[in-house]
Amino acid sequence: MKFISQKTGLDVRKIEWLTKSNQLSGGDEKLSVFYYGLLSQNLPTDPAALLTRDRTSITRALQRAGGLNLIPTLNPEDLNNLLDNVLPKLRAQNLLSLLRKASRLRLETCWGPCASLWWKTVNLKWPI
C-alpha cells in the first residue's frame, strides 16, 4: 500500500478503503461506492452491525462523504435499495456462512470420538 501511495500520491487510508470496499462489494460498483463512503466516515461495513444503525445516520454519513468528494452522490433509489434489499441479503449470507462453518466444526470435533466408537463397535464380537 505504501508503494502505491508513493507512486500515485494518494493517502494510504484511501487506498485501503478502496481495496476493502472493492473486496466487500464483489465488484458491484454501487455497493463499492457505498462501502467506501462508510469506511471514509468510520462506520462499520459488517451488514449485521450496519443494520443496527438508523437510516438517518447512514444517509448523513454518505452525504458527508459525497460533500467531501470522496464518493459520487448516491441517488435515493440506489441508497434505499442498498439499505432495504442488499444489506439484509448480505447479512443472511453471512449468517448462513457462519452456520455452515459451525456445523463443519461440530462434525470435525465429533468425528474423532464417533469414529473411535464406531471402530470399537465394528470390532466387537457382540455389537452394541
pLDDT tens, position by position, 7-48: 677 778 878 888 899 998 888 898 999 999 999 999 998 877
Per the CB < 8 A criterion, the answer to whether 87 and 57 are in contact is no
Per-residue pLDDT at 52: 81
**Whether the Cβ atoms of residue 55 and residue 99 lie closer than 8 Å to each other:** no
Q: State the residue for C-alpha cell 466444526.
A: 105
Q: How do residues 71-99 score in pLDDT, each as one tens digit?
A: 998 888 988 888 888 888 887 877 777 77
Higher pLDDT, 100 or 58: 58
Predicted local confidence at residue 99, as pLDDT? 78
